[in-house]
């Protein structure tokens, strides 16, 4: 039932509806939208083969070869990268001075670009193609636009349309963050992600490499960080029962990236015009590191294993010099591996109660002249920035670091709305807008029954496109806004296929928000171009959402079975912490996913057809309550059961209404996957239609029970 493949293949009807938003557009479907596109009416008649000349730009040869392959695939004409033959090139890359690029813009009547290093000119004329720019990134952007021109709906073709494109980005930071800690992706997947990013002119890859649930970066000076901190036993009955015969213990899940892996990623990113920003989280989100080296934690708060619960752990680094020494060693290896200007230190969601209750931390605070727990958190940010300064690196962190006494070069990533960006810019700090939930791609894109797991609250392509990266409060401090970034947290995104599906095409909308001037923003125009662009993603083999609801938020009409409802076709009784959670079983096969509020597992079926119904049944799942949610746990609803195993109850009208049916959970207790409960007879004399409230009575919080589907049956 819950197959991503099904969602990817059901395109015929949805794309017909989507295409009704626009007819065939004039000109190429360029994404993101350029500043200026002029169709000349001329054509370049294609020869039997094309020569692409990087014009002695040796650093561009890998990108040129990659894009030459894509051009050949799209145009049906062989394209060869050739720097020495002297034959007339079909495509030539021209590096010019920044001053010359400014002249081209001025001559065309365009304002000087904000980021001239990324500005390019693309010309297709009768004698061939030229791409002009002052930097490698600009020339790559121009080649990408050329690929989009020739890979349109009517390609391949015997000729290419004559045109001139002058273009440059609005923002210098157009980023995607990938969380590789909760679930780790292969190096090959990341290299492919970088390719797809480059094809949309996204230029920053933020790589989240440490958290409570995993340490993913090899540190040669401290090998246990990865060897121990990179592995965990997943939560749930099924993983606990999956015994590794080599150890006699539950099988470990995880891994880490070696220095060689990182060098491959960083080099590939550079060839695509992308900067990699690594993130090592301090001083919170430290459970995996403390599991590797227990002396890193606060005394009295031992860590037995790498975390397997989602949420905010209380574990923090202590203030010992040995701890700072380890973190400085980590920074040394990061500086060696990652040449970009920024290193992300996290700094978010730090719970201070372990520090507050520690005599040793109080002693260290006195020795360090620190007064107050906020200054303890500040110490990590300030000390590591000072340590990194001689290497020419600056820190960037989530907006909580604004509470520190930040050095001027420190940058702030605003995730709790846009307020952090406004405050950072007002204080003279560079800032990146990355607000939740709008730019958090772990949120589901639709509520279709077969959609993959994720965080509740639908974020569509249009939601992303409508984001304003320059709210009025930032108008006077525009120069401090680096740009925008979307984040893919992977607590609920276990596979690479799902990671890609959750990213695209929302990241296409992000690319236009970050690249295109707000004056040129136009949802209808973007929708037209995206409609023509989705086949490009399909041709590249990139999993992506293409149903109408994911794109526009407009839910298509669905024929709902009269007497059966899936969980996502019902209302939640409340949505305090709404998630779409994947089952923990079966381990090696497709798993169900369930929409639930983890504090109140309760569903409403509005206007259920009850006339002549005699019985009902349901499919249910049991999930581990693996959530670190702080004081919110106190509001978790646990209804006392009448049997040792618990029951599912169905009430009429409201959750305190008359009891219609009770389904014992005993048949499902020993099955960690979804279980179809036996039919249960309806009591009383229900009306022809009525609301149903479905709840669980259970003996404990963990495991907690969830509804998969419910079905009504008429009297025989």
DSSP state of 678: P
Q: What is the pLDDT of residue 24?
A: 36
Confidence of residue 15 (pLDDT cuts 50, 70, 90): very low
Calculate the alpha carbon distances from 660 to 471, 481, 520 in Å.
52, 58, 57
**Range scoring the smallest mean pLDDT among 9-13, 241-245, 418-422:** 9-13
Query: What would you report as the CA-atom Rg of the chain, rounded to the nearest whole angstrom?
Result: 28
Report the pLDDT averaged over residues 219-244: 97
CA distance 113 to 126: 28
Report the pLDDT averaged over residues 571-585: 96
Calculate the alpha carbon distances from 174 to 74, 307, 444, 508 in Å.
26, 32, 22, 11
Q: What is the pLDDT of residue 87?
A: 63
DSSP string, 341-390: SEEEEE--S---HHHHT-HHHHHHHHHHT--SHHHHHHHHHHHHHHHHGG
Nearest to 348 by CA among 283, 296, 289, 394: 283
pLDDT for 536-559, tens place per residue? 999 999 999 999 899 998 877 777
Contact 83, 54 (CB under 8 A): yes
Tokens of 79: 């394209």
Match 């009547």 to its residue by tokens: 109
Architecture category of domain 173-552 in CATH: Alpha-Beta Barrel (3.20)
Contact 253, 239 (CB under 8 A): yes
Confidence of residue 26 (pLDDT cuts 50, 70, 90): low
Neighbours of 369 (CB within 10 A): 7
CA distance 297 to 249: 25
Do 173-552 and 564-714 fold alike per CATH? Answer: no
Residue 214's DSSP bridge partners are 211
Neighbour-count burial for 523-540, b at 16+ CB within 10 Å, e otherwise: eeebbbbbbbbbebbeeb
Domain edges within the chain = 36-167, 173-552, 564-714
Q: Active-site positions?
A: 211, 285, 349
For 36-167, the fitting CATH number among 2.90.10.10, 3.30.379.10, 3.40.50.300, 3.40.1410.10 is 3.30.379.10
Confirm or reject CATH 3.20.20.150 for domain 564-714, answering yes or no: no
pLDDT for 167-212, tens place per residue? 999 999 999 999 999 999 999 999 999 999 999 999 999 999 999 9
CA distance 255 to 271: 26
Match 């794309």 to its residue by tokens: 15
Report the pLDDT averaged over residues 582-586: 95
Cis previous bond, 32, omega within 30: yes
Report the percentage of the chain scoring pLDDT > 90.
Answer: 84
Report the pLDDT averaged over residues 652-664: 96
Q: What is the pLDDT of residue 155?
A: 55
CA distance 535 to 153: 8
Across the chain, what does the average pLDDT equal? 92
């Amino acid at each position: 039932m819950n197959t991503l493949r099904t969602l990817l293949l059901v395109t015929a009807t949805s794309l017909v509806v989507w295409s009704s938003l626009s007819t065939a557009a004039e000109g190429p479907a360029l994404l993101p939208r350029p500043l200026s596109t002029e169709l000349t009416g001329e054509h370049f008649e294609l020869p039997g083969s094309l020569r692409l000349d990087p014009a002695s730009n040796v650093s561009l040869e890998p990108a040129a070869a990659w894009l030459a392959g894509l051009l050949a695939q799209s145009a049906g004409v062989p394209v060869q990268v050739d720097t020495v033959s002297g034959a007339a090139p079909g495509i030539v890359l021209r590096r010019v001075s920044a001053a010359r690029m400014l002249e081209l813009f001025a001559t065309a009547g365009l304002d000087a670009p904000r980021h001239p290093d990324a500005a390019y000119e693309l010309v297709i004329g009768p004698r061939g193609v030229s791409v002009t720019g002052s930097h490698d990134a600009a020339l790559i952007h121009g080649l990408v636009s050329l690929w989009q021109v020739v890979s349109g709906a009517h390609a391949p073709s015997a000729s290419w349309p004559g045109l001139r494109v002058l273009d440059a980005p609005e923002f210098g930071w157009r980023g995607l963050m990938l969380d590789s800690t909760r679930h780790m992706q292969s190096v090959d997947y990341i290299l492919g992600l970088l390719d797809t990013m480059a094809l949309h002119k996204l230029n920053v890859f933020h790589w989240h490499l440490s958290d409570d649930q995993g340490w993913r970066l090899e540190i040669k000076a401290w090998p246990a960080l990865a060897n121990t901190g990179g592995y965990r036993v997943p939560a749930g009955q099924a993983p606990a029962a999956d015994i590794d015969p080599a150890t006699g213990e539950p099988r470990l899940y995880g891994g880490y990236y070696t220095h060689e892996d990182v060098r491959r990623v960083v080099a590939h990113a550079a060839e695509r015009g992308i900067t990699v920003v690594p993130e090592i989280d301090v001083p919170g989100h430290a459970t995996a590191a403390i599991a590797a080296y227990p002396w890193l934690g606060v005394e009295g708060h031992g860590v037995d294993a790498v975390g397997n619960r989602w949420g905010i752990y209380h574990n923090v680094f202590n203030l010992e010099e040995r701890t700072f020494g380890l973190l400085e060693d980590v920074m040394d290896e990061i500086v060696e591996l990652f040449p970009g200007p920024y290193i992300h230190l996290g700094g978010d969601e730090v719970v201070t109660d372990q520090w507050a209750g520690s005599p040793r931390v109080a002693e260290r605070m006195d020795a360090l002249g620190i007064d107050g727990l906020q200054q303890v958190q500040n110490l990590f940010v300030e000390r590591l920035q000072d340590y990194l300064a001689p290497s020419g690196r600056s820190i960037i962190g989530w907006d909580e670091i604004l509470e520190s006494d930040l050095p001027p070069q420190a940058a702030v990533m605003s995730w709790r709305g846009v307020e952090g960006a406004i405050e950072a810019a007002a204080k003279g700090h560079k800032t990146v807008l990355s607000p939740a939930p709008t730019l958090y791609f772990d949120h589901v894109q639709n509520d279709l029954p077969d959609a993959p797991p994720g965080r509740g609250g639908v974020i569509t392509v249009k939601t992303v496109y409508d984001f304003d990266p320059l709210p009025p409060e930032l108008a006077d401090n525009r120069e401090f806004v680096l740009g925008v970034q979307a984040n893919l947290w992977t607590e609920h995104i276990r596979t690479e296929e799902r990671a890609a599906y959750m990213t695209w095409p929302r990241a296409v909308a992000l690319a236009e928000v970050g690249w295109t001037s707000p004056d040129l923003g136009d949802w209808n125009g973007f929708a037209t171009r995206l409609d023509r662009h989705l086949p490009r993603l399909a041709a590249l083999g990139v999993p992506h959402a293409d149903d109408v609801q994911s794109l526009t938020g407009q839910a298509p009409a669905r024929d709902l079975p009269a007497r059966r409802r899936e969980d996502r076709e019902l209302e939640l009784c409340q949505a305090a912490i709404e998630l779409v959670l994947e089952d923990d079983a079966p381990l090696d096969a497709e798993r169900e996913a369930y929409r639930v509020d983890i504090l109140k597992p309760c569903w409403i079926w509005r206007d259920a057809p009850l006339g002549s119904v005699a019985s009902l049944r349901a499919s249910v799942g049991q999930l581990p309550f693996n959530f670190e949610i702080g004081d919110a746990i106190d509001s978790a609803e646990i209804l006392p059961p009448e049997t040792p195993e618990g029951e599912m109850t169905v009430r009429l009208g409201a959750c305190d209404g008359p009891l219609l049916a009770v389904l014992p959970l005993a048949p499902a207790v020993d099955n960690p996957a979804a279980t179809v409960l036996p039919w249960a007879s309806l009591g009383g004399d229900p009306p022809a239609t009525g609301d149903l409230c479905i709840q669980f009575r259970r003996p404990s919080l963990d495991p907690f029970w969830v509804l998969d589907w419910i079905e009504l049956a008429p009297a025989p």
